[in-house]
Each structure stands twice: as C-alpha cells, then as structure tokens.
Amino acid sequence: MLKLENVSITFNKGTVNEKKALDNVSLTVEDGDFITVIGSNGAGKSTLMNAVSGTYEIDKGKIFLDDKNITRLKEYQRARFIGRLFQDPLRGTAPNMTIEENLGLAYSRGKRRSLNIGIKRKDLNLFREKLSELGLGLEDRMKTPVGLLSGGQRQALTLLMATIVTPKLLLLDEHTAALDPKTAAKVMEITEKIVKENNITTLMITHNVSNALAYGNRTIVLSQGRLAFALEGEQRKNMTVEGLMKLYSDNAGDAFTDKMLLD
C-alpha cells in the first residue's frame, strides 16, 4: 500500500517564479490498485511521480510504502522496489548493451551482486520466455543492441525490465505518449497484461482520457497541485469522456487546457 499524507512541493521558493507544484496532497493506493492520473499541463502529475520515486524531495508531508516511511529515502534506494517508465522510450535502457544484457541488469535489481561474469542459462531461458509473451519477436533478438529497436519495442522492453522482478509499485509516466496510436495501443495491451498477471500496484499518468477510464480500477484528477476528485466503482464504470470533462470543470473551476486530453 502506498500512502501520501499532506505532501507539498514548492519550486523556486522566495522568487517571483515561486510555484506550488503539490499542495497538501493526500492519497491512499491499496495493494493491487491500478490508478490512472489525469490533469492539465502543470497540474502536478509528473511532480507527484517524482515525489513518490524520490526524484524530488518534498517540502512537507510523509510518504509510506507498505507501512514503511520512505519520505527521506534517496531515489536509488527506492528504485530497488519501485519500477518506473517515462514518456521517452530512450530512457530506462542502455542502448549499447544487448536485450539480454539489459534484462540481466534489471533482473539483478535488489539482489546481492556476485563476481561471476555472464548470465546464467536458467536466467536466459526466463528472459526468452518473458520476451515471447510480449508478442514482438524479441525473444529471437536477444543478442541485438537495444539501440537498434523501435520506440515501441524499446518501451515494451523497458516495461518488462521494470517488472521482471515484481516491484512493490509501478509508476508509468505517460509511457505511450511518444508512440504512434497503433504502437501505443500494443504497449497498453502489454501493460495491462503484465499488471494484471502480477497484481502490481500501479500509478499511470495519461493524456488520453479514454484510456484513463478504460484501464485500471480508479482515476484521480489533479488540478493546480491538488487532488480535485477521484472516480471509482459504478461512477467510474458509467463515466463518459464528456461527463468527465464536465465534472472536471465543475470541481476544478477551470477546463482542461491541453488539447491532447480531448483526443
């Protein structure tokens, strides 16, 4: 379970550019929740992810994961049990290393390193099996440098790397935004399959309102650094894109300003 208690972050304190990026945000994410996160540009979506992952230190508040206070843990310490994907497919992999070498690094996350060089045969068999489940033919290209993969293939591989050791929490920061619609749909299909099969607690930022309602079991909407409202259960199940837009306008006091949210 992830729990945020009155988390706040202010950028450029004491200057004319001071901005409250997160304003007393409190949120409880139950084990197995798949929460989609939407809001206009500057609403605080990525800042929320950065606060949870440890990229940004928070000004006040507390963050708990499985009842452990991780508020002051560094990003590299949290990376042992938090997986994360970014919008840019180039992030999260080593382009000059092969597919199997990248998976080997990911698979060793949180484990004691040994002096043995190379990847064990049983691990290679596991990698081949997991790659085949992606349905992209990557299991036959394990010696291929990752830099030669397409954006969609690379993002699917990054997703596998983030989950090959099941994380306590998975953060998806607009991980399909840079992909063409067909490839984005494929990556979302793979995402849903992996999250469901492993019951991974997940937070996913998206600029696609339809996806925000189609995937996961809860939707939260941020506005001006605050949690404007949340949708779940029957209300979410019966919600339309148009209804969500109106609900946002009524609760947040403004309208979505990013056109991508309307697509």
The CATH number covering residue 77 comes to 3.40.50.300
- Round the average pLDDT of the chain to a whole number and report it: 92
Give me the mean pLDDT over the 234-257 stretch: 84
Residue range 161-183: mean pLDDT, rounded = 95
Measure the CA angle with vertex 159, ends 157 and 163; round to 5°. Answer: 115
Tell me how many domains the chain contains.
1
Residue entry with tokens 């991780």? 70
Phi (first) and psi of residue 82, to 5 degrees: -120, 125
Instruction: Provide the pLDDT for residue 120.
Output: 86
pTM of the model: 0.92
3-state secondary structure of 82: strand
Q: Residues 6 or more apart from 85 whose CB is under 8 A from it?
A: 92, 155, 158, 159, 162, 170, 171, 172, 173, 175
Place of tokens 């939260």: 220
Task: Give pLDDT tens digits for 182-240.
Answer: 999 999 999 999 999 999 999 999 999 999 999 999 999 999 999 999 999 999 999 99
Q: Which of 180, 165, 222, 174 has the alpha carbon at shortest distance from 23?
A: 222
Residue-number span of the structural domain to which 11 is assigned:
2-262
